Amino acid sequence: MQNNQFMAVSISNNDKSWVAVDANSDFPIQNLPFGIFKTSNQGPRVGVAIGDQIVDLLGLFVLGYLENLPFERSDFETDTLNAMMKRRKKACSDLRLRVYKLLLSDYPDLQNNQHHCDQVIIPQADVEMLMPVEVGDYTDFYSSREHATNVGTMFRDPDNALLPNWLHIPVGYHGRASSIIISGTPIRRPKGQQRPSDDEPPVYGPCKLLDFELEMAFVTFDGKPLGDTISTDEADDYIFGMCLFNDWSARDIQKWEYVPLGPFLAKNFASSISPWVVTLDALEQFRIPGPVQEPKVLPYLEYSGNKHIDINLQVAIEPEGGNETIISNSNYKHMYWNMNQQLAHHTVNGCNIRCGDMMASGTISGPVPESYGSMLELSWKGTKPLKMNDGSERKFILDGDTVIMKGHCEKDGVRVGFGEVKTKVLPAK
């Protein structure tokens, strides 16, 4: 190995990789997201996406390309990213930069060794992606003003749609980690208690109003000890990266159960995520200012710099045997509360976070109906059915439907994307 592996590397939007990357790919060299994959003859391991290929980090480690970084073989020969993330922010950023350099068009070490390339560059088409993270605790926020306003308008009072706390607190609840699943895993329509009308007794059966929620989630490093807090300024150091997140929701079960303690069985039957975790480092150049927050927030929720991110988001429904219809175009920039505020709020009481915790944004709805992030809003409680390309209509999600969410950032000719989270709904058991 040549000594130039220790050269400092600076990232430029003009950089290209010697691995061919299509112009429309979500995974140029400026992205390099992390995931877990396995092949027909090799067990689970850490990989990094480049174009339609994967770089095998276990392979890189074994061949000596990751020398002088604070990682061990077991950090990559594993079925979750947790061991790698245990090394914390600086180590993971340096690791990504090392992979960046190895893939750079004018950097010879790996590209000139065809034998090594054959071992560590693997077509994505030949692998199975696995859950990237062992999620310890999962929290779901409720941070889109438009979504909260729409829900408040439909179910409470249009003139006072936001509850009194909403503009002061990044409202959230603790969800369930065990049912977070990887894209491609089908779900069963959940069953549960519903009360179809206010003057009838409750019934039990398959959910009739199955919905998705378009969200983004972030994954954390280990935080501080119990009792300590993480400030908005410190928050970036505790966030590894982000993925697409579909928070499946059973609206009829939700309506009957949620008073007084909030979401329970209407939410915890499944949440689907995309397989690649895009690092906060890769998203840095897509930061933008957030909305003016009025009334002024309490000091612990104040923040400096651009902490919102411009991420284009799309939702499509693919009926059984049919073609997909795009039903929503939204953007993560519509968040009222950003991740730094969410994490500062989550820890302000001394609650500790751990490596592999997942925190979702809450449904991301934009200002116009075409940008709403759930069927509840898109069909306005079922009063405005959506037209599908095949002529059918949707008020909520039907058995056999596949819901597909995609997301990407784009600026100065560089596209950094998340791939997709795609989930088919099967009939209730």
Q: Which is nearer to Ca ion, 59 or 175 (CB)?
A: 175
Q: Which helix (H) or strand (E) holds 378?
A: helix 375-378
- Ramachandran angles phi, psi of 92, nearest 5°: -70, -35
Structure tokens, 132: 């990237």
CB distance 420 to 183 below 8 Å: yes
Give the residues lining the site for Ca ion (CB under 5 A).
140, 213, 247
Rounded CA separation 166/148 (Å): 8
CB of 335 to Ca ion, least distance (A): 13
Rounded CA separation 370/374 (Å): 11
Structure tokens, 103: 């893939």
Q: Which is nearer to Ca ion, 174 or 296 (CB)?
A: 174
Q: Which is nearer to Ca ion, 111 or 330 (CB)?
A: 330
Choosing from 147, 308, 334, 345, the catalytic residue is: 147
Q: Which is nearer to Ca ion, 148 or 277 (CB)?
A: 148
Burial of 92 by CB count in 10 Å (0-12 exposed, 13-18 middle, 19+ buried)? buried
Structure tokens, 228: 């300590």
Rounded CA separation 371/327 (Å): 8
Q: Which residues contact 278 (CB under 8 A, 6 or more apart)?
A: 31, 33, 241, 242, 243, 416, 417, 418
Rounded CA separation 304/326 (Å): 36
Q: Which is nearer to Ca ion, 140 or 401 (CB)?
A: 140
CB of 143 to Ca ion, least distance (A): 10
Q: Which helix (H) or strand (E) holds 272?
A: strand 271-273
147 catalytically annotated: yes
**How many CA within 13 A on the CB side of residue 69?**
28
Rounded CA separation 271/424 (Å): 12
Q: Which is nearer to Ca ion, 15 or 247 (CB)?
A: 247
CB of 246 to Ca ion, least distance (A): 9
What are the residue numbers of the active site?
A: 147
